[in-house]
Every structure is written in C-alpha cells, then in structure tokens.
C-alpha cells in the first residue's frame, strides 16, 4: 500500500516571517492524520508544501520516498473554498482531472458516476455548482479530488464554511470514502472534535513559528460512530487537546494582551509539567 508522507525538519520562511520551523511528522499509508493549532501557526503552509504549491526553505518532504518538488496527481487537494468550475456540470467537474490524464469519454463518465454515487450525488450529476448547497459543493470538490485515484488527500479546513449539521454528515461521508478507498489523509481543522472523530493521530502545532507541540493517538475503534463522541475515551482526549490548544492560543495572543489578558484564567502546572489554563 502506498501513500507514505514524510516531513523532516521542515522550515518555511516568507521574508522575515518564519511560518514553519523544524517540523517533522509522517502519515503512514492508509492513515488519517489531523493537524490542529492556533490561527497563523503555519498549518496551511505545511499542507501547501506537501501539496507542492509552496517551496520549503529547509528540510525535506517526500511521498513514498520520492522528494516532493511540485504538485502531482498522486495528491488530491481540497480547500475550504469550493474551487469548482462554475461553467461545468457536477459530472464534468469530476471528470476534469481524468480528461487531463487522457482517459476516454465513456470510461471517465463511468468513473465519475461511480464516485458521485458513493457520495450520494448521482441525482445531481447534471446540475451546475450554483444550483447546489455549500455541503453539496464541498462533496463534489472531494469527489473531484478523489477521481484521479490519488494515494493521498490533503484537506485544508474543508468543512470550515459549513453549518454544524452538514459538517457532521460530511465527516461521516469522508470517513466512509476514506475507508473504502484506503487513502492517506492529512487534514487541517480548527475543530478539535472533528479532528478526534476523524483521525488516527492528531498533531498539535505551537503558535508561530509553527513547531510540533504534541502528537496524540486517538484511542477510538473503527468504524467511528456519532455515539462515540460521548464516550469517556473521547472526552478524555478532547480535554487533553483543548488544554494544549488553549495554551498555544494564549501564547499566540500573549504579546498583544499582556498579563492583563490572562485575568479570569486559572493557570496552573498540570501532569507532566504541562501548563494548563482553566
């Protein structure tokens, strides 16, 4: 099985701004890994390096042992903003990558229809993007990214613009498709519960410059179901991640807020010397 992402000692600078500093992580073949961290900590930058859109200024990123130097059809990318072609029908959008790869008409139509069926979108294959809701557009975006059979999906806040109900449905659809297609996924989110529900492992980044602060295994069995979100294991890992994030968000805002900004928060040193903010 392919799809092994390795990021070693990655650094990215934009002029004087150090966006990412010495980040090492990996996504094993078929694994679902999320990255969470305070705003501006370099999550999107990291993902853009793996996608091949942004060059690294230090370190190395590889997919199945091959150094990443630019974008490729081995990596599907989904952003928060739906990047569908408005002048193409849903099916034509999904077929686009396959057409670029030179696949014949009937074959690509068949492939697109199979995937649209899996995502519950077959009745809408002839609709245009502006006739769809946000959740449906994002489903089409995911299906389109999956159409060229990438080994890896890179997803930057893909459900960030959706309402809570639609988001839950999308999470379930994504896990179903991920399990069926045996993909490796690198997923960025601000939503800690979403990260826990979807992932095998979660990396927490520090405030800028972004480094890895913690790596947390999610001890929930598969397949995941909505009722697991009220389990003790879920609650414990949620508490742990919330503390890690809260600490970093405060650090990110610290300079602006000064000591007065921490008034009203109870700060103490918890287990393993970790500073906890209550």
Ligand X SMILES: Nc1ncnc2c1ncn2[C@@H]1O[C@H](COP(=O)(O)OP(=O)(O)OP(=O)(O)O)[C@@H](O)[C@H]1O
By beta-carbon proximity to ligand X, the closer residue of 121 and 252 is 252
Shortest reach from residue 166's CB to ligand X, in Å: 20
Q: Which is nearer to ligand X, 17 or 100 (CB)?
A: 17
Q: Which is nearer to ligand X, 41 or 198 (CB)?
A: 41
- The Cα 156–Cα 170 span in angstroms is 14
Residues that bind ligand X (CB under 6 A): 14, 17, 19, 37, 39-45, 208
Q: What is residue 167's three-state secondary structure?
A: helix
> How near is the Cβ of 213 to ligand X at its closest, in Å?
13
Element (H, E) at 261: none
Helix axes 90-100, 134-147, angle to 10 degrees: 20
Shortest CB 144 distance to ligand X, Å: 22
For residues 56 and 144, give the distance between their C-alpha atoms in angstroms, rounded to a whole number. Answer: 27
Q: How far is the CB of 246 from ligand X (least distance, A)?
A: 15
Which of 10, 136 has the CB closer to ligand X?
A: 10
Cβ distance to ligand X smaller for residue 8 or 13: 13
Beta carbon of residue 208, minimum distance to ligand X (angstroms, whole number)? 5
């Amino acid at each position: 099985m392919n799809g092994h992402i390795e990021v070693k000692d990655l650094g990215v600078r934009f002029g004087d701004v150090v966006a990412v500093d010495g980040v090492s992580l990996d996504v094993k073949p078929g694994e679902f890994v999320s990255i969470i961290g305070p705003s501006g900590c370099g999550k999107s930058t990291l993902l853009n390096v793996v996608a091949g859109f942004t060059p690294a200024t230090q370190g190395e990123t590889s997919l199945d042992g091959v150094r990443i130097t630019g974008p490729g059809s081995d990596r599907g990318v989904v952003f928060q903003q739906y990047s569908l072609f408005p002048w193409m029908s849903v099916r034509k959008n999904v077929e686009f990558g396959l057409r670029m790869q030179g696949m014949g008409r009937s074959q690509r139509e068949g492939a697109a229809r199979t995937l649209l069926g899996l995502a519950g979108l077959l009745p809408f294959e002839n609709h245009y993007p502006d006739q769809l809701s946000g959740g449906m557009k994002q489903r089409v975006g995911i299906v389109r990214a999956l159409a060229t059979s990438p080994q890896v999906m890179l997803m930057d806040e893909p459900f960030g613009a959706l309402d809570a109900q639609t988001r839950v449905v999308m999470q379930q659809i994504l896990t179903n498709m991920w399990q069926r297609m045996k993909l490796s996924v690198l997923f960025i989110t601000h939503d800690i519960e979403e990260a826990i529900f979807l992932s095998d492992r979660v990396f927490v980044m520090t405030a800028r410059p972004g480094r890895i602060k913690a790596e947390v295994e999610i001890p929930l069995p598969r397949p995941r179901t909505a009722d697991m979100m009220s389990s003790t294991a879920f609650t414990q890992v949620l508490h742990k991640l919330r503390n890690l994030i809260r600490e970093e968000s405060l650090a990110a805002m610290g300079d602006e807020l000064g000591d007065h900004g921490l008034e009203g928060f109870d700060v103490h040193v918890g287990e393993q010397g970790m500073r906890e903010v209550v």
